[in-house]
Amino acid sequence: MGATRTPRRSWIEEGLRALAAGGPEAVRIEPLAQALGVSKGGFYGHFGNRDTLLAEMLDTWEREAAEAVIEQVEGAGGDPRARLKRLFAIAGASDTPARGVATDLAIRDWARRDESVAERLRRVDNRRMDYLRSLFGAFCPDEDDVEVRCMIVYSLRIGNYLIAADHGPRSRPEVMEHTRDWLLR
């Protein structure tokens, strides 16, 4: 029996973890191999070079951070408010490297220096916002109200992790729950 190869997906996931932890500069073949407990030679069986890995990491992020989440929300059905609640729960429990906020933040930072990454980010942001508009638009007749709700949801998704403010006698989870309830009225 030959040696078992580390799956391509494992390299991509480990690359996304490294990206989330330290930006694109942290995505280096040797440290990824060490984290996976394999030799770096296995990397070249899957990827021609680091740029190929980076592109596949971005492909995975783009697919999982937008389309896979939307498919998961839509797959369970329900009215628009139920789907929004499900979306909020899924976004709050993101446990895959491609869906995590840390990965989003790292990609946002990377996009400031790389126009091709910025284009992918715009595509994902626009897809997410379009989906939110479709859900809020189903029960909010005012287009301005829809846009405001979408902007608040999306800003909270990204900014909640950057805000260190206290909320008096309320916990952050309580404030977030009240915010979700307010947005769904």
CA distance linking residue 36 with residue 30, whole number of Å: 10
Residue type (1 letter), 152 = I
Q: What is the pLDDT of residues 163-175, one digit of tens each?
A: 999 999 999 999 9
Beta bridge partners of 40: none
Look up residue 15 and give its two tokens.
């690359």
Residue 4 pLDDT more than 70? no
CATH topology of domain 8-183: Tetracycline Repressor; domain 2 (1.10.357)
Please tell me the distance from the alpha carbon of residue 19 to that of residue 164, in angstroms, as a whole number.
23
pLDDT tens for residues 131-148? 999 999 999 999 999 999
Q: Which 3 state secondary structure label does DSSP give 78?
A: coil
What pLDDT, in 10s, does the model give residues 53-112?
Answer: 999 999 999 999 999 999 999 999 999 999 999 999 998 886 666 678 899 999 999 999
Kindly list the domain boundaries of the chain, sorted by start residue.
Answer: 8-183
| Cβ count near 119 (within 10 Å) | 11
Q: Using an 8 Å Cβ cutoff, are 87 and 69 in contact?
A: yes
